[in-house]
Amino acid sequence: MTEAHPGSKELMETVANWHDGPLTFSRAFGWERWGLLGILSDFILHYTQGDIVEIGVCESSIFFTKLAKKHGRKVYHCDLQQSIITNCLTVDGYFDESNVIVCADSDTFFKETILPPIALGFIDGDHTYEQVKKDFDNLFPFIVDDGYIFLHDTYPKDEEWLGPSACGTVFMLRKELEQWDNVDVFTFTRSAWDVGLTMVRKHPKNLKPFQDKERVRYGSNR
C-alpha cells in the first residue's frame, strides 16, 4: 500500500482469487462489480482478433491483464491520474508485459498512441457526455468488424447518480448510440455497480439484407 493510492495490493489479492476453470471469474465478487465485463470480454476475445483499449485504470485493469495473457493480446491503458498508475505498478500481477500504460488525458492518448486493430474497448474515464463521446469517436475507427466497446455509468439508478463524481451524463451517449444504424447496443442494468454497462457491437461492412438492422417505430400502445 502506498500513500498515493492505497488499497491496490489488497484489491488485487481479492479480485485475482479466480474460480477454478477456464473463465475469468473472481471468487470474491462473482457477477458483481466487473464479473459480467470479465465474462463477456473473455467470450469476445475468444472469437475476435485484435487488442484491448481501456480508458480509466482501476479494478477492471486486473481482468484485462489476465484476459490479455490468456488470449495473447496487448492492453493499451490510459489514465490521467499518475498516483493510480504508480501504485498499481508496485503490485505484482496488476500489469505485465502485455500492458502498454499511458498516463495522459484520453485526447492526448488517442493523438499520440499508435493503436493496432482493437477487438475490445472499455471506456470508464471522464463522465461527461462531451468527453465520453470524444473517447468513443476516437476509438471506434480502430474497432474491428464484430468488435465491441463497453461503456460504464450509462443507466443511473436515479437523479442522485447524475453528478460528475457518479454517472454524470454518460447516459446521453447510450441513448444516442441506440439510434445508430451501424451498431448493436444492449445495456445491462445489473452488475458493474448496477449503474449500467452498455455493450456496443460494430457491424461488419457489406451486411446482407437479412443481417442488417432495420429501424422500426412502434406506436404508443407498445
The per-residue pLDDT for range 19-35, each reduced to its tens digit, is 999 999 999 999 999 99
Q: Whole domain around residue 55: which residue ranges?
A: 8-202
Question: Quick check: is 217 in a domain?
Answer: no
The per-residue pLDDT for range 178-221, each reduced to its tens digit, is 999 999 999 999 999 999 999 999 999 989 989 988 765 544 44
- Give 4's pLDDT tier (boundaries 50, 70, 90): very low
> Could you tell me what percentage of the chain is helix, strand and coil, using 3-state DSSP and rounding each to the nearest 5?
35, 20, 45
Cα–Cα nearest to 131, from 164, 84, 83, 179: 164
Question: Quick check: is 220 in a domain?
Answer: no
CATH number at residue 23: 3.40.50.150
Rounded Cα gap, residues 44 and 126, in angstroms? 25
Give me the mean pLDDT over the 7-24 stretch.
92
Confirm whether pTM is higher than 0.85: yes
Question: Quick check: is 218 in a domain?
Answer: no
Instruction: Count the domains in the chain.
Output: 1
- Give 222's pLDDT tier (boundaries 50, 70, 90): very low
The position carrying cell 477487438 is 119
Half-sphere exposure of residue 100: CA atoms within 13 angstroms, side-chain side: 13
Question: Quick check: is 151 in a domain?
Answer: yes
Question: Quick check: is 78 in a domain?
Answer: yes
